[in-house]
Amino acid sequence: MQSDRGIFSAEHIISLCDLPVGKSAVINSIQAEGMTRRRMMDLGLVPGTRVEALRISPAGDPKAYKIRGTVIAFRREEGSKILVNLKED
Amino acid sequence: MGLTHQSCGSGVNREIFQRGMVPGAAYVIALAGNPNTGKSTLFNALTGLNQHTGNWPGKTVLRAEGKFIFQGRVYNLIDLPGTYSLLAHSAEEQVARDYLCFGKPDATIVVVDATCLERNLNLVLQVLEITAKVVVCVNLMDEAKRKNIEINIESLSAELGVPVVAATAREGAGLAALQQAVAGIADGTVKTSPYIVKYDEAIEHCIRKLEPKLKELVGEQFNSRWLALRLLDGDETVIRSLKKWLAEGTRVRAAAGGEILA
Ligand SMILES: Nc1nc2c(ncn2[C@@H]2O[C@H](COP(=O)(O)OP(=O)(O)O)[C@@H](O)[C@H]2O)c(=O)[nH]1
Ligand SMILES: [Mg+2]
């Protein structure tokens, strides 16, 4: 599988909003700034945290994620600012 | 500082109360925690009918206040709004934050959910940054047991550097131990050594530069490390709050909470 870190990398970085339902990934970084960033970090979204995409609303947005034992919904607008490391299997 | 003797803390209130002149509260105890951790349940279990509600001054945020008596002492319990954080500036978070920093309660109980401790510890660490007079109440222990979650209360207490008490507020379990721990913190017989978050050296350097200046401005009455951090955060609401509290005195007067029935 190709990735932006080269063919030898088994991991690649995607936006959380692009994480397919049923897959989990590990937070790489938060691109949001200011209060949105603070809010995300208060919800436990810090680098190294495992996130699972649980389901998608009928309209396609927002998506629900499981983070540290709690289900949290993010719109694409927010999810696009959270980068995650996705391991290929 | 222009502060009156009376506005300077609970010691004054307590003396008056013990002399029987004013039926006031001996100690002021704040109750903090994430939403849905059983804070209200605990508040009701501790205060029974000795409570009343209103709004926080200038906010549409509910304020519940009540009293309980433990070993002959009166404790005035203030239920702070449930929040995940003290830093993200919703009206609720500002109320809780300002009360902890400027209201200077004699002790603060932080209620945490035993079934998702990790998430709750964020708030615990934020509270510990403001005040050392903290008791952590790990609530919903029945739920944790049902989910086969074991919590090592002693080692949590050792890690955090403050007393930790397990409770099941809905069944009234752990309340006496909680009251005992709160009493020790409030009267100063139990000293804590809270876990304090250390930041990058660049930030710590700025804190060291800011703290002495802050102490010059506001004295020793507020936590200058925490104030320095907020200034570094570019947090203007905290400056407004500071001005307001300096003008009005260091303590929100506990409104009379009804007759004590106990
Ligand atoms: N199983 C269990 N449920 C509890 C306990 N304490 C509170 N609850 C329940 O948790 C829910 C939230 O409680 P509440 O006191 O309103 O939480 P608050 O949002 O922190 O004020 C309610 O349904 C309570 O009955 C407890 O110790 N065990
Ligand atoms: Mg409540």
Mean pLDDT, 10 residues at a time, chain A of 89 residues:
53 93 96 89 92 92 91 93 89
> How far apart, in whole angstroms, are the C-alpha atoms of residue B257 and residue B237?
29
A50 touches chain B (CB under 8 A): no
Pocket lining: B24 vs ligand 1, CB cutoff 6 Å: no
Q: Which of B92, B149, B147, B159 is nearest to B121 (CA)?
A: B159
What one-character DSSP code corresponds to residue B190? S
Residue B193 lies in a domain: no
Residue A81 lies in a domain: yes
CATH of the domain at B113: 3.40.50.300
pLDDT of residue B78: 94
Q: Are residues B16 and B119 in the same domain?
A: yes
Residue B223 lies in a domain: yes
Given a cut of 80, is residue B126 above it in pLDDT?
A: yes
pLDDT of residue B90: 87
User: Among the atoms of ligand 1, which is closest to the Cα of residue B143?
Assistant: 1
Residue B192 lies in a domain: no
pLDDT tens digits, one per residue of B221-241: 889 999 999 999 888 888 888
> How far apart, in whole angstroms, are the C-alpha atoms of residue B220 and residue B239?
16
CA atoms B182, B183, B186, B190: torsion sign:
negative
Q: Are residues B114 and B140 in the same domain?
A: yes
Show the DSSP H helices in chain B as ranges.
Answer: 10-18, 39-47, 91-98, 117-130, 141-146, 153-160, 175-186, 201-218, 224-232, 236-248
Pocket lining: B38 vs ligand 1, CB cutoff 6 Å: yes
Q: What is the pTM of this model?
A: 0.83
Q: How far is CA B143 from CA B120, B133, B166, B229, in A?
A: 15, 28, 12, 37
- Give me the mean pLDDT over the B214-225 stretch: 89
Residue B35 lies in a domain: yes
CA atoms B122, A68, A87, A85: torsion sign:
negative
B7 touches chain A (CB under 8 A): no
- H or E stretch including B79? strand B73-79
Q: Which of B229, B255, B243 is nearest to B86 (CA)?
A: B229
Q: Are residues B165 and B221 in the same domain?
A: no
Q: Which of B99, B32, B89 is nearest to A38 (CA)?
A: B89
The alpha-carbon gap from A40 to the nearest alpha carbon of chain B, in Å, equals 10
Site to substitute for ligand 1 among B170, B175, B178, most atoms within 8 A of C-beta: B170
Q: Are residues B120 and B153 in the same domain?
A: yes
Q: Which of A38, A44, A68 sits opposite B88 (nearest CB)?
A: A38
Judge whether B120 and B33 are in contact, CB under 8 Å. yes
Give CA torsion, residues A40, A44, A48, A49, to 10 deg.
-110
Pocket lining: B37 vs ligand 1, CB cutoff 6 Å: yes
Q: Are residues B33 and B156 in the same domain?
A: yes
Q: Which two tokens stand for residue A45?
A: 């979204």
pLDDT of residue B20: 32
Ligand 1: distance of its center to the CA of B117 in Å?
15
Q: Are residues B32 and B146 in the same domain?
A: yes
pLDDT tens digits, one per residue of B148-206: 999 999 999 999 999 999 999 999 999 999 999 999 999 999 999 999 999 999 999 99
Q: A35–B89: do the CB atoms touch at under 8 Å? A: yes
Number of H helices, E strands in chain A: 2, 6
Amino acid sitting at position B93:
E
Ligand 1: distance of its center to the CA of B119 in Å?
17
pLDDT of residue B22: 37
Instruction: pLDDT band for B115, please (50, 70, 90 cuts).
Output: very high
B116 touches chain A (CB under 8 A): yes
pLDDT of residue A35: 84
Which domain does B225 fall in, by range?
A: 201-256
Instruction: pLDDT band for B209, please (50, 70, 90 cuts).
Output: very high
Q: Are residues B99 and B128 in the same domain?
A: yes
Q: A43–B84: do the CB atoms touch at under 8 Å? A: yes
Q: Are residues B250 and B226 in the same domain?
A: yes
Which domain does A77 fall in, by range?
A: 11-87
CATH of the domain at A40: 2.30.30.90
Domain count, chain B: 2
Instruction: pLDDT band for B110, please (50, 70, 90 cuts).
Output: very high
Q: What percent of chain B has pLDDT over 90?
A: 65
Domain count, chain A: 1
Q: How many CB pairs under 8 A join A and B?
A: 25
